[in-house]
Amino acid sequence: MTAPAPIRVVLADDERMVRTALRAILSAEADLEVVGEAATGAEAVAVVRELRPDVVLMDVRMPEIDGIRATEQILAGLDEPPRIVVVTTFENDSYVYDALRVGAAGFLLKRSDADALVGAVRLVARSDSLLFPAAVRALAAEHARACAAPPAWVARLTGRESEVLRHMAAGLTNAEIARRMEVGAATVKTHVASVLAKTGARDRTQAVIAAYESGFLRNP
């Protein structure tokens, strides 16, 4: 029985040693073939465009263009893009979200052992539906939307005004806010007025809505 077409892999990592190690692990498998390497994001885009691999192992931190943007460019520029697996060091990295957002097919930790690495590459290459498919992408997209860039007015709020808005969004009255902040009721009214002016809100309810919609309440 003749060997099936091997899975063609490109490695993108700025550290030569990492590439060498990955190549050693993957080349030991008969069905895997490392066809190219790249040391920068820009190089990765170029190499993938030329070699058309099945799978790309993409490091996140790279010179020039990071792995996320490289992934983005590759997936946007090609008709039949490869499956891109993003590789990073820490699993609670914020890059995980970015990787999912731009359409990476998978996510792998650098401390994964050889079995996991090889298994992931095979799984990603073969199956339309690998672990955590479209639904997780949707999740990430939603997360990105929820953490969207806050409007300009957020930066313009002073410290006290931010505090007041937070208390407003907790459903407190002006008098209650005054007690909590240990200032006079008149002071709170002044801050509230500033908040309304800066947010463009007519009343405290609209200000609270703006606080929710802008994600203001999710920041420190």
Site of interaction with DNA (CB under 7 A): 158-161, 173-175, 181, 183-187, 189-193, 196-197, 202-205
Member of 83, 106, 167, 216 binding a second copy (CB under 8 A) = 106
Look at residue 18 and give the partner it binds from a second copy, DNA, none, a contact being a CB closer than 5 to 8 Å depending on partner kind: none
CA distance 165 to 27: 58
Least distance from DNA to the Cβ atom of residue 62, Å: 35
Q: Which of 136, 148, 175, 197 binds a second copy (CB under 8 A)?
A: 136
Q: Which amino acid is at 45?
A: V
When CB distances are held under 5 to 8 angstroms depending on the partner's kind, the choice from a second copy, DNA, none that residue 158 binds is DNA
Q: Left if phi > 0, otherwise alpha if psi is -120 to 50, otherwise beta: which for 130?
A: beta
- Listed in sequence order, the residues at least 6 apart from 87 whose beta carbon sits closer than 8 Å to its beta carbon are 13, 57, 58, 59, 60, 67, 108, 109, 110
Per-residue tokens: 176 = 């209650």
DSSP reduced 3-state for 108: strand
* Integer Cα distance of 191 and 162 in angstroms: 9
| Structure token digits, residue 126 | 């073969």
Query: Does 113 participate in binding a second copy (rule CB under 8 A)?
Result: yes
Question: Judged by CB under 8 A, which stretch of 58-66, 76-84, 90-98, 150-158 contacts a second copy?
Answer: 90-98
Pattern 195-214, binding to a second copy, x per CB under 8 A?
Answer: ------xxxxxx-xx--x--
Measured CA to CA, the distance from residue 76 to residue 68 in angstroms comes to 12
Q: Map tokens 């690495």 to a residue.
A: 117
Residue 4 found at the interface with a second copy (CB under 8 A): no
Binding site for a second copy (CB under 8 A): 85, 91-93, 96-97, 100, 106-109, 111-113, 115-116, 119-120, 122-124, 126-127, 129-136, 138-140, 142-143, 146, 168-171, 173, 201-206, 208-209, 212
